[in-house]
Amino acid sequence: MFVKYMKDKFGTLERLNQEFGLDYWSNRINSWEDFPSVVGTINGSLGAEFARFQRKLVTDFLAWQVSIVNEYKRPSQFVTHNFDFEWRGYSFGVQPDVDHFAASASLDIAGVDIYHPSQDELTGTEISFGGDVTRALKGTNYFVLETQAQAFPNWTPYPGQLRLQAFSHLASGANMVSYWHWHSIHNSAETYWKGLLSHDLESNPVYEEAKTIGSDFNRLSPHLVNLQKSNRVAMLVSNESLTAMEWFPLPGRKVNYNDIVRLMYDALYKMNIGCDIVHPDSGNLDNYDLILVPALYAASDELLERLNAFVRNGGHVVYTFKSGFTNEHVKVRTTHQPCAIDEACGIRYSLFVEPKSVSFKGDPFEVGPADNTVNTWMELLTPTTAEVVASYDHPHWGAYAAITKNRHGKGTTTYVGCLPSAAVMSKVLEMTVKDAGLWGMDQDIQYPLIVKSGVNDQGKTVRYYFNYSDRTETLKYPHAEGKELLSGQAVKQGAVRELTRWGIAIIEEA
């Protein structure tokens, strides 16, 4: 099947050998009948293409299943499927083995499994990221088909956390929250992945809290269902770059593609900046003012030119290191880096090194010595037209820029040529959000208070306020007067509200 796929895609072996550099180390293929197994291949282009082919098999298989169901389902019925994410003991990042955007095309409703740390480690970040990805698949609301009830001993929620989690899913656009599972099973592999009920099948505090969630969903669904979100910031994620960076990892393999995705996403989340997720084939880039591009290592010329045009027309882009380095076949471009985006970024480089005891000169972001650090990877940037935002503090690499900003056409491009700390990345993104004119009233409210908003079926703005901490937090409500839906109380603009630990407020504007 893979050989047929390659014939259809490349036509001739001559083209394939050229595109994938198969002459190197005697990997050249001289007849389709001699096509080698990809098991143990040393060619990253061939290995990455096989991974793309495998993702296509998943897409085709799901579409085949859906086509069978569609022959029999009633008009009122729908088809969904529970997608999931890179797993690190919980849902973490972009799924490496499935192209969610392609695979969801045949579904009526996108579904997802979202699991996450709990107790003192509950931040809501995974709920938000998983929701933003899944909402993007069909461009509308989605179902949470699995999330945790009790699960493991380190996940058993503190009082109030199950409610906080449930409404957090709704705030990202979920139209359903379903728990895995109803009762804890008594044998087999998931004996201790506990459900709403424990093994005794009797009521317990988690079950009782779930009943309050069901009651509130039943009462408030007309105000909360079909929440429509309109974000001005997007993050571009790429399965191709994820796979390519697995073939050509950063030194020590300590950091992968999803670490960089989450470094940027988590910073936005804690600043209360709403974010959509887009992919290389998305045709709606112009819907946004700011696009974050983590480690776009493998990308076509066409995609990079679309991003250049986005900036020329007034948009703002933040790239990280490794972006634009290879084409879509993981073949390194032959001009100085970052190749097709060099003019938009106003920089060039040809050297990159592994940092040893490197920091940013002069602590430009005022984050303190512990966070003013460069980790794992650094590109030695030479500005052509870009402004230097930060440079390296190093006896040999100090002449080079680390982070730059460049005006290109009507917009700006920021390039982060190294792996910074979370604190530095947050400061860089704060700068670009302000440059894009997107810093608003909700950005004065910072984590552990999280704000999410959207428009309901009645055309009214609904704002969720979450306290992701174990202490009471105070906020000053900055928007138009409305009603807090859980309590039914009227809320005036400027009113000071207290959110109890792991507490929630849902305000619908009048």
42-99: pLDDT as tens digits: 999 999 999 999 999 999 999 999 999 999 999 999 999 999 999 999 999 999 999 9
Distance CA 295, CA 148 (A): 31
Q: What is the pLDDT of residues 441-479, one digit of tens each?
A: 999 999 999 999 999 999 999 999 999 999 999 999 999
Distance CA 208, CA 196 (A): 9
Number of H helices, E strands in the chain: 12, 26
**Section 239-268 average pLDDT:** 96
Distance CA 299, CA 382 (A): 23
Q: Which helix (H) or strand (E) holds 408?
A: strand 401-408
Q: What is the pLDDT of residues 353-383, one digit of tens each?
A: 999 999 999 999 999 999 999 999 999 999 9
286's torsion region: left (phi>0), alpha (psi -120 to 50) or beta?
alpha
Query: Is the pLDDT assigned to residue 14 strictly greater than 90?
Result: yes
Distance CA 51, CA 239 (A): 9
Q: For residue 155, what are its two tokens? A: 């996940």
Q: What is the dihedral of CA 351, 279, 130, 128, to 10 degrees?
A: 80
Beta-bridge mates of residue 450: 466
Question: What per-residue confidence (pLDDT) applies to 254?
Answer: 86
Distance CA 485, CA 318 (A): 38
Distance CA 236, CA 238 (A): 7
Distance CA 323, CA 319 (A): 7
Beta-bridge mates of residue 416: 320, 403
Percent of the chain, pLDDT > 90?
Answer: 99
Helices (H), 248-300: 257-270
Question: What per-residue confidence (pLDDT) applies to 283?
Answer: 87
Main-chain phi, psi angles of 123, to 5 degrees:
-120, -20
- Type of residue found at 148: Q
User: For residues 87-110, b (16+ Cβ closer than 10 Å) or e, as one string?
Assistant: eeebbbbbbbebbbbbbbebbebb
Q: What is the pLDDT of residues 156-182, one digit of tens each?
A: 999 999 999 999 999 999 999 999 999
Beta-bridge mates of residue 194: 151
**Section 121-142 average pLDDT:** 98
Q: What is the pLDDT of residues 216-225, one digit of tens each?
A: 999 999 999 9
Q: Which helix (H) or strand (E) holds 86?
A: strand 86-87
Helices (H), 236-300: 239-247, 257-270
Binned at pLDDT 50, 70 and 90, residue 252 comes out as confident
Main-chain phi, psi angles of 286, to 5 degrees:
-70, -5
**Section 409-416 average pLDDT:** 98
Question: What per-residue confidence (pLDDT) applies to 295?
Answer: 98
Other beta carbons within 10 angstroms of residue 43's beta carbon come to 19
Distance CA 213, CA 196 (A): 12
Closest alpha carbon to 389 in 429, 352, 329: 429
* DSSP string of 122-182, one letter each residue: --SHHHHHHHHHHHHHHTS-EEEEEEESSBSTTTSPPTTHHHHHHHHHHHTTEEEEEEE-S
Q: Whole-number mean pLDDT of the chain? A: 97
**Section 194-213 average pLDDT:** 98
**Section 245-270 average pLDDT:** 95
Binned at pLDDT 50, 70 and 90, residue 253 comes out as confident
Question: What per-residue confidence (pLDDT) applies to 357?
Answer: 93
Other beta carbons within 10 angstroms of residue 203's beta carbon come to 12
Residue with tokens 């291949």: 41
Sign of CA dihedral 349, 351, 352, 356: negative
Closest alpha carbon to 229 in 126, 139, 151, 163: 139
Query: Is the pLDDT assigned to residue 396 strictly greater than 90?
Result: yes
Distance CA 370, CA 373 (A): 7
What's the first-to-final CA gap in the chain, in angstroms?
A: 58
Percent of the chain, pLDDT > 70?
Answer: 100
